[in-house]
Amino acid sequence: MTDSKDLFPDPEADKKAYLAAQKRRNIAIGLSLFAFVVLVFLVSLTRMMQNTPH
């Protein structure tokens, strides 16, 4: 027969796993957003430098 622990997982452990995964996702989204901002800045800087007279 199976134990009741197998049928009903610990909600506290489940919540910790959920929060850990959420934190990893938030870090990934933050790094992606930062990389996008840097990319837009560099492209803008490059385009502005092309329009300056030498």
- pLDDT tens for 6-51 read 677 788 888 999 999 999 999 999 999 999 999 999 999 999 999 8
pLDDT value, residue 2: 58
pTM over 0.75: no
**At 33, which amino acid appears?**
L
- pLDDT tens for 33-43 read 999 999 999 99
User: How many contiguous H segments (helices) and E segments (strands) does the chain have?
Assistant: 2, 0
pLDDT value, residue 5: 61
CB crowding 15-51: b at 16 or more within 10 Å, else e: eeeeeeeeeeeeeeeeeeeeeeeeeeeeeeeeeeeee
